[in-house]
Amino acid sequence: MAYLFSSESVSEGHPDKVADQISDALLDQFLAYDEEARCAIETFNTTGQVVIMGEVRSKEYVDLQTIARKTINNIGYTKAEYQFDGNSCGILSAIHEQSDDINRGVDNGDAENQGAGDQGMMFGYACDETDNYMPVTLDLAHLIMRTLADIRKEGKVMTYLRPDAKSQVTVEYSDDNLPQRIDTIVVSTQHDDFIKPADGSHEAQLKADKEMVDRIHKDVVEILMPRVKAQIRSEKVLALFKDGIRYLVNPTGKFVIGGPHGDTGLTGRKIIVDTYGGKGGHGGGAFSGKDSSKVDRSAAYASRYIAKNMVAAGVSDEILVQLAYAIGVAEPVSVYVNTYGRSHVKASDGEIAEQVKKLFDLRPKAIEKTLKLRQPMYLETAAYGHMGRKNEIVKKTFSSRYHDTKTVDVELFTWEKLDRVDEIRKAFGL
């Protein structure tokens, strides 16, 4: 029997994503001036207030307030009427130094066999539903949010948009797990109070609210979604846009109060949005604010790198890779592979996992080197997903009252490269 599957995304102005971006902007600032910095930075935000917490071990000093304010303003929280803006919000720092007990397990005197920064399991996933080997539900949800943010920042149409927004895409799948059509698209976006009631009555307020929702619904269907579709290059994804898609736009009605004033934000609360939208698996560890000695982040990227290259090589149409580590130990304690019965090689999933261990060096320091994870590359990951993104080299400029301004070439999303396909094909006789 056919079934429905849904994934959600959130905008860069969602309070949890504001927290993620502040944490990763601070991590990048540390790494720009000290590539060996160790960070585990958490951020909390609410009405008019940001609290930065966590542990840092670095030889450099970073102006936390300046970086946090710049990040908030770049997101779009620049007006006092939002009751949270980068220029006036209070910022409290509760950063302290990393525990020596944790550090001794990581810095064990053998650089190549640097221990994992914590125990835990990390998952990577890839499938053939989209050109970037991501679940189509999440890929579309992210695209809707990125496009809505582009429209907001251009300021030419939908000029009532505010930074906070969410999307959700539901797709119908066939019995053999193939996407058939888009069933429902949900878009909830914060907006200005752009239609005022005729008088002070409750009825007049309800009428004004309905007119706003009707206008936003119309603009989502007639402005936002055509721009979303225009960016899709895959014919099989475009084919999912059949007649009868149900659009739920701001289904609760007015959404003026939003962002950190409407709901508190905290680093690491959108881990499913960050990864695979509910497909595959998740070990529970968040990414943002953590340097690559924390396998929560680096091994999650490595497992995605493995899964994507394996699907691209033709080993399977869909694959899940789990890595597990013990704190202070370099080699993973387990490597698990699940091909969901969609494998194209004459090997069991256990045998595929053994081959993965031979093909990929999964010690934390080796992952760092392979994926170049000591670069200041993380702010770009902190909104619209860490996986399925474009691998590219960009110039980033960092300034500080304590250091000279620094411009560096940074390679983003290195775990999305398909540079192991030929090697994998050879190993599996494909």
Over the stretch 392-416, which tens digit does the pLDDT of each residue have? 999 999 988 888 899 999 999 999 9
**Strand partners for 404:** none
**Residue 193 in marked binding region:** no
Q: Global pTM? A: 0.95
Question: Is residue 404 in some structural domain?
Answer: yes
pLDDT at 400: 85
Q: What is the pLDDT of residue 332?
A: 94
Residue 196 marked ligand-binding: no
Q: Are strands 179-191 and 161-173 parallel, antiparallel or unpaired?
A: antiparallel
Lookup result for tokens 């989502």 = 220
Q: Are 249 and 306 contained in the same domain?
A: no
350-364: average pLDDT: 96
263 is in an annotated binding site: yes
Establish whether 16 is an annotated binding residue.
yes
Enter the DSSP assignment of 81.
G
Residue 280 lies in a domain: no
| 360 and 409 together in one domain | yes
Q: Which of 100-109, 187-196, 310-319 has the lowest mean pLDDT?
A: 100-109
Residue 165 labeled ligand binder? yes
Let me know whether 147 and 213 are in one domain: yes
User: CA of 174: how far to CAs of 138, 179, 239, in Å?
Assistant: 18, 6, 15
Q: Which of 239, 259, 279 is the last residue of a domain?
A: 259
Angle between helices 295-313 and 364-371 (to 10 degrees): 60
- The end-to-end CA distance of the chain, in Å, is 33
The answer to whether 258 and 164 have CB atoms below 8 angstroms apart is yes
Express as a percent the part of the chain with pLDDT over 90. 88
pLDDT band at 116 (very low <50, low <70, confident <90, very high): confident
User: Does the annotation place 5 within a ligand binding site?
Assistant: no
> Per the annotation, does 154 bind a ligand?
no
Domain count, the chain: 2
In a domain, 366, yes or no: yes
Of 230, 207, 211, the closest CA to residue 219 belongs to 211
Mean pLDDT of 7-16: 98
Quick check: helix, strand or coil at residue 42?
strand
> Residue 276 and residue 139: Cα distance in Å, rounded?
9
Q: Does position 57 have pLDDT exceeding 60, yes or no?
A: yes
24 marked as part of a ligand binding site: no
Is 286 marked within a binding site?
A: yes
| Residue whose pair of structure tokens reads 């540390």 in the numeric block | 30
Give pLDDT tens digits for 126-164: 999 999 999 999 999 999 999 999 999 999 999 999 999
pLDDT of residue 328: 86
pLDDT for res 94: 93
Same domain for 314 and 237:
no
Question: What is each CA distance from 314 to 67, 421, 426, in whole angstroms?
Answer: 44, 9, 11
Q: Is the pLDDT of residue 376 over 80?
A: yes
pLDDT at residue number 107: 61
42 marked ligand binding residue: yes
- Among 15-29, 92-106, 171-185, 280-294, the least confident range: 92-106
- In three state form, how does the secondary structure of 290-334 look? ECCCCHHHHHHHHHHHHHHHHHHHCCECEEEEEEEECECCCCCCE
Mean pLDDT rounded to a whole number for the chain: 94
- For residue 402, the model assigns a pLDDT of 82
Q: Is 214 annotated as a binding residue?
A: no
- Strand 38-46 vs strand 49-57: parallel, antiparallel, or unpaired? antiparallel
Domain that holds residue 166: 3-8+136-259
DSSP assignment letter at 141? H
Q: Residues near 99 by Cβ (< 8 Å), separated by ≥ 6? A: 55
Split at pLDDT 50, 70, 90, the class of 114 is: confident
- What's 384's domain CATH number? 3.30.300.10
Q: 254 pLDDT exceeds 90?
A: no
Q: What does the pLDDT read at residue 110?
A: 58
pLDDT greater than 70 at residue 235: yes
Find out whether 411 is annotated in a ligand binding site: no
Cα–chain-centroid distance for residue 256? 25
Residues 343 and 407 in one domain: yes
Give the pair of three-digit tokens for residue 324: 């597990």
| Lowest mean pLDDT across 212-221, 253-262, 363-372 | 253-262
The more confident residue out of 98 and 10 is 10
> In the prediction, which pLDDT does 373 show?
97
- Residues 189 and 145 grouped into a single domain: yes
Is residue 54 within 8 Å of residue 95, measured between CB atoms? yes
| Residue 97 pLDDT | 81
* 349-373 mean pLDDT: 96
Say if residues 90 and 49 touch (Cβ distance below 8 Å). yes
Residue 279 lies in a domain: no
Q: How far apart are CA 371 and CA 352, in angstroms?
A: 22
């509760």: which residue's tokens?
Answer: 94
> Among 369, 409, 404, which Cα is nearest to 392's?
409
Q: Is residue 400 assigned to a domain?
A: yes
What is the chain's length? 430
Average pLDDT of the residues in 85-96: 94
